[in-house]
Amino acid sequence: MGSFNIAVIPGDGIGPEVTNGTCEVLQVIAQKYGHSFHFEELLAGGSAIDATGETLPASTLAACKKSDAVLLGAVGGPKWDSLPGKQRPEQALLGLRAGLGLYANLRPAVLHKELSQACPLKDKYVADGIDIMIVRELTGGIYFGERGRRDGGKSPDGQDMGQEAYDTESYSVLEIERIARVGFELAMGRKKKVFCIDKANILETSRLWREVVGRVSLEYPEVEVEYMYVDNASMQLVRRPSDFDVMITSNIFGDILSDEAGMITGSIGMLPSASLGAPGKPGMYEPVHGSAPDIAGLNKANPLATILSAAMMLRWTLGLRKEADAIENAVSKVLSEGYRTIDIAYSEECTVLGTREMTQKVILSIV
Ligand code: NAD
């Protein structure tokens, strides 16, 4: 029996719809398994701008730091699109990642067999299923490096180059080591295979990445390591997706490859994610999708990505494995019974449900 404080940031658009239902799912888990979850609802993103003028109020970050885990819906929407970059709702995400030290982003890409029709690849490429765990470095690299504009000077033939822009990629041994360990630890509980994705034929950061991953791999002799250039990885993901298991990547490569891996497994409404920091610190769990303003308030959003994110939270931060399994099994059962939200309704035989009804089906399927 455990008692846990969960910071809930519903955010904007469909965020409140999918997080409310997910909290109901978690309450049912608490009742069935004898735990207590205390939810504290917090502001971030567009709704925080409207209420406080800030995208990430200091009180939100402070409450998240004190919590056991954070559940986030999504932030952003057209209402705030004209704000300058630093004042936009999406800045809240960077603030939360940096403020909570969330350096490891786990994005599983699983093809649920019931949703195989959602996969855009031919059957022969996915006959063995898809079960990939992308482990993306989240607080370093080019997204956090020095950037700016400057005078581009003259070209070799004397032409004025005009203004130039630059972004900087840098990685330290510590940053690579800690993300590599997350990847190897995960691999130990899976098929014991790690793919190190980089561009070591060109980039110095990638060469350091390979050196460090190679050193860390010595601590995990049972785990097989395959090094792959990112351009090749993006091809192999559509050619032989079943061969991949844990993929360790830098921030930018992981950002791109996880969207590709997500796409080949079907709808964005099915993809959960976890962002983890130092052991013992709160992790943040959120669906991969955004605030979907086009369907907000219409009871059309697929809540499963957020519900599956909550399962990851139980497994990775709260240490409640059988409870996580219970949620994942409930989702599989509902899908196998033919229930779908509109984004994953590919066959005429399925029964289309709204957000609330899908959530209730999952709740009723928890054993
Ligand atoms: P989006 O993911 O919100 O929507 C893309 C498409 O997928 C839309 O057609 C939408 O209806 C659909 N969709 C998304 N989630 C769905 C779900 N759960 N069920 C059914 N359909 C779903 O991406 P976007 O339109 O590029 O962005 C909308 C807003 O969300 C923007 O302001 C963007 O900045 C923000 N955003 C936030 C996050 C986040 O909070 N982590 C991530 C991505 C985008």
Q: Is the pLDDT of residue 348 over 90?
A: no
Please tell me the predicted confidence (pLDDT) of residue 346.
Answer: 82
Residues acting as catalytic residues: 143, 199, 231, 255, 259
**Residue closest by Cα to atom 40 of ligand 1:** 74
Binning pLDDT at 50, 70 and 90, where does residue 319 land?
A: very high
Span 100-115, average pLDDT: 93
Q: Is the CB of 271 under 6 A from ligand 1?
A: no
Q: What's the gap in Å between 239 CA and the centre of ligand 1?
A: 27
pLDDT score at 266: 78
What contacts 235, CB < 8 A, 6 or more positions away?
none
With pLDDT > 90 as the criterion, what percentage of the chain qualifies? Answer: 89
pLDDT of residue 262: 85
Q: Whose CA is nearest to atom 25 of ligand 1?
A: 292
Residue 124: partners with Cβ closer than 8 Å, 6 or more residues away = none
Question: Between these two residues, 202 and 348, which has the higher pLDDT value?
Answer: 202
For domain 1-103+281-367, say whether CATH 3.40.718.10 is its number: yes
Q: What is the pLDDT of residue 318?
A: 96
CATH code of domain 120-264: 3.40.718.10
Lowest mean pLDDT among 43-52, 68-77, 98-107, 121-130: 121-130
Q: Which of 83-97, 109-123, 270-284, 292-306 has the lowest mean pLDDT?
A: 109-123
- Here the tokens at position 323 are 């409870």
Per-residue pLDDT, 277: 95
Q: Is 55 in the pocket of ligand 1 (CB under 6 A)?
A: no
In this predicted structure, the answer to whether residue 18 has a pLDDT above a threshold of 90 is yes
Residues 6+ apart with CB under 8 A from 45: 9, 11, 12, 15, 55, 74, 75, 76, 89, 90, 92, 291
Pocket test for ligand 1, best of 43, 97, 291 (most atoms within 8 A of CB): 291
Cβ 192 vs Cβ 226: under 8 Å: no
73 lines ligand 1 (CB under 6 A): no
User: What integer pLDDT is reported at residue 113 of this predicted model?
Assistant: 83
- Tokens 């409404």 belong to 269
Residue 85 pLDDT greater than 90, yes or no = no
**Which residues sit opposite 194 in a β-bridge?**
225, 246
CA of 257 to the centre of ligand 1 (A): 18
Q: String of b and e for 223-244 (b: at least 16 CB within 10 Å)? A: bebeebbbeebbeebeeebeeb
Is 93 near ligand 1, meaning CB less than 6 Å away? yes
Residue 149's pLDDT is: 95
CB hemisphere CA count around 178 (13 angstroms):
17
pLDDT band of residue 114 (cuts 50, 70, 90) is confident
Closest CA to 352 of 300, 306, 303: 300
What is the share, in percent, of the chain residues with pLDDT greater than 70? 100
Is 74 close to ligand 1, i.e. is its CB under 6 Å away? yes
- pLDDT at residue 69 is higher than 90: yes
Pairwise CA distance, residues 43 & 40, whole Å: 10
**Residue range 275-304, pLDDT digits in tens:** 999 989 999 999 999 999 999 999 999 999
Instruction: Break the chain into its structural domains and give their ranges.
Output: 1-103+281-367, 120-264
Interatomic CA distance for residues 92 and 59, integer angstroms: 13
